[in-house]
Chains A and B, each alone.
Chain A
Amino acid sequence: MNEIAGFLGILQSIPPAFVYILGAALLPLFKGRARKAYLVAIGVLGLANAFTLKPQTSWVLQILPEIKLTLLHADALSLIMGYIFTLIGLFAIIYSLDAVKETGHHICALLYIGSSLGAVFAGDFITLYIFWEIMAVSSLGLIWYEGSKRARDAGMRYILFHLFGGCALLAGIIIHFLTTGSLTAGPIEEMGLAYFLILLGIGVNTAFIPLHTWLPDAYPKATIAGSVFLSVYTTKTGVYALARTFPAAEAGGAVAYMGAVMAIYGVVFALLQNDVRKLLSYHIVSQVGYMVAGVGIGTMMGINGGIAHVFNHILYKALLFMCMGAVIYETGRMNLTELGGLARKMPVTTLTCIVAAFSISGVIGFNGYVSKGMIIHAAEESHLHLIALALMLASVGTFLSFLKLTYFTFFAAPSEEIQAKEAPITMLIPMVATAALCVAIGVYPQMLYRILPYPEEAFHYNAYSAGHTLGTAELLLMTAFMFFAFGFFKPHERITYDIDHIYRRAGRAFLHFCEGPLMDFAKSVESGVMKISDALISFSRNPTATTRMFVDAAAIAVLRPFNPAYKKYEADLNELRRRYHEPVENIVIGTGVLLVLIFFALLLAIYLAYTA
């Protein structure tokens, strides 16, 4: 017992990131079943590490006399993120045991979890930035391991976006340090360039409109297990950074409205999708919109709601990606138009997917109902009625999307018979466990309230008040009725342009400009420089003749239009050109060296004369 207590004592002072990063480093030593056991052990160890951390624990590393890296800073906000990141990390690792064969993929996944935890527990901006960048690069592996050209291209666009965001974040951090002298990862209160650059850097990860296009572009092209990991960490770390640095800031109102725009925008595009994982990806944009709105409202209820929604969203969105991953794994199909009738063939997947769909739609009794209600309640308390209305509308769209997803995947008649069986047990275990948590938090939200940043405020919120419960019931039942009665939302196989269409066109136009006019200009500059250098060479060889040639050429150019005298200069120029090619008398090298030495001696004499 003492050994276990001692081990837990050591564990509770180690940054959780270390467990995963060290775990990734040692992974190549294991093969076969030992590797699977090792991966699960890392997940369990990480979970134990996060759950044993005490608030106000810190781990500081002095790297320069004035700069310290705070690798572990545990408070209520970072701890709740740590809990959910490690919990879902364990589930995602178990899910990937059979779905992933490549060791490199597992290493990327562990590094991704570790770096996300590193960013969440960072006490200073430099540490945050370092883990932020590791997160971007390691998550890229989860896309590229899919192996297709479309995944490689999407991965390239993904990393370009994240490098741009990382640069903005770094520039903001440097300017913030130069103006305030502080690197502490905390609220940025002074509006200025640093403020906007850091917001921009975080905005890329949080998928602010119009910086969101990397998300629906890359996530559906990742590996089956990769998209489960991706759905959890990047955007939620962004929301965490937003809550850490911009709670109730001057731009808070703008951030809240941005959240409302994201919530509606993501839903509209999700409804148009046929690829199941693309539909889910657009819903990440929408659901992150709720979180951004909550954080942007900035009240204790708003921040509680935003963070509660992060927690809940991680559960149900990971579950949705797991369910759709299981469907793709078993059927090899990823479009709604090609799916259908899987409910009897994959009953556990169907049931867990319905739980996840009800959770994300905010159906009464599921976890999304609690956190969405908190955010809308916070908006109404702050008299931001437009935001509250937009979030309610987004709820309607969300329910429509998930009626569409579940109905056309599991219940509608397929276009042709699909051969499928239930997913492997390693996939089903995390799916069932996550679904159980979605229901548990929905039924007993107090277990979530306890770990929120402002627990006292959270306990004042009654999720199951008559008004909220009946209102939600009316809203969702009317949505379900209209969905099935009118059939507006059948899937179709057409491509809808998003904002990235503009980026791609602009990019192609830029490349065309670079290859056309810009290259012509570069060639003309190069030719001009060559002419000047030729003139200088000829001048150095024969200054008199070159000067005369230059004067002749200038005189010809000036006089030719109106004075026949230019012919005299033309004749002289031709004569000079003819003679110029005759051997010129060269001075010997020794004379040249002597002249240079005399020049430097004179220079030295002048220098000494003036400094004496």
Chain B
Amino acid sequence: MTNSVRNAVIAVSIGGICVALALSLILPNHNEPFLGFHAIIGAVGVLFFAFAMRILSLAQREGRQDE
């Protein structure tokens, strides 16, 4: 179940991004600075949070969080 859910979400995500970009090309009145701006923000955002977590992992210690 785990892998099937994961693969399904990946497939839907890629398909969805393609559809959204295609619609952005077709539909007027979208307010993006350039095509795919929000997709890039999404990718940069994920990398930003991964990097932030890596930095904050330097300020961690062993132990259970609920203690």
Measuring CB to CB, which residues of chain A are less than 8 angstroms from any residue of chain B?
150, 220, 267-269, 271-275, 278, 334-335, 341, 343, 389, 392-393, 395-397, 400, 407, 411-413, 465-468, 470-486, 488-489, 493-497
Return chain A residues, CB-CB under 8 Å to B32. 467, 470-471
B29 contacts A397, C-beta separation under 8 Å: no
Q: How far is the CB of A496 from chain B (nearest CB, A)?
A: 5
CA distance A130 to B21 in the complex (A): 54
Return chain B residues, CB-CB under 8 Å to A493. 63-65
Chain B residue at minimal CB-CB distance from A473: B20
- CB-contact partner of B6 in A400, A484, A497, under 8 A: A484
Seed contacts A393-B48, A473-B16, A497-B60; 11 additional CB < 8 Å A-B pairs: A267-B49, A395-B45, A465-B31, A471-B30, A474-B37, A474-B42, A477-B16, A478-B46, A481-B14, A495-B65, A497-B61
CA distance A267 to B9 in the complex (A): 22
Measuring CB to CB, which residues of chain B are less than 8 angstroms from any residue of chain A?
1-2, 5-6, 9-10, 12-14, 16-17, 20-21, 23-24, 27-32, 36-50, 52-53, 56-57, 59-67
18 residue pairs bridging A and B, Cβ less than 8 Å apart: A150-B67, A220-B66, A271-B49, A396-B49, A400-B46, A411-B1, A465-B29, A467-B29, A467-B31, A481-B13, A481-B14, A482-B47, A489-B50, A493-B63, A494-B57, A494-B60, A495-B65, A497-B61
A483 contacts B46, C-beta separation under 8 Å: yes
Chain B residue at minimal CB-CB distance from A485: B10
A411 contacts B42, C-beta separation under 8 Å: no
B38 contacts A474, C-beta separation under 8 Å: yes
Instruction: Pick the most buried of A268, A269, A481: most chain B CB atoms within 10 A of its CB.
Output: A481
CA distance A220 to B64 in the complex (A): 13
B52 contacts A268, C-beta separation under 8 Å: yes
Return chain A residues, CB-CB under 8 Å to B43. 478, 482
Q: How far is the CB of B17 from chain A (nearest CB, A)?
A: 5
CA distance A269 to B60 in the complex (A): 12
Return chain B residues, CB-CB under 8 Å to A220. 66
B48 contacts A480, C-beta separation under 8 Å: no
* Given known A272-B53, A396-B46, A467-B32, contact A478–B13 (CB-CB < 8 A): yes
Return chain B residues, CB-CB under 8 Å to A468. 31
Chain B residue at minimal CB-CB distance from A279: B65
- CB-contact partner of B56 in A272, A275, A467, A483, under 8 A: A272
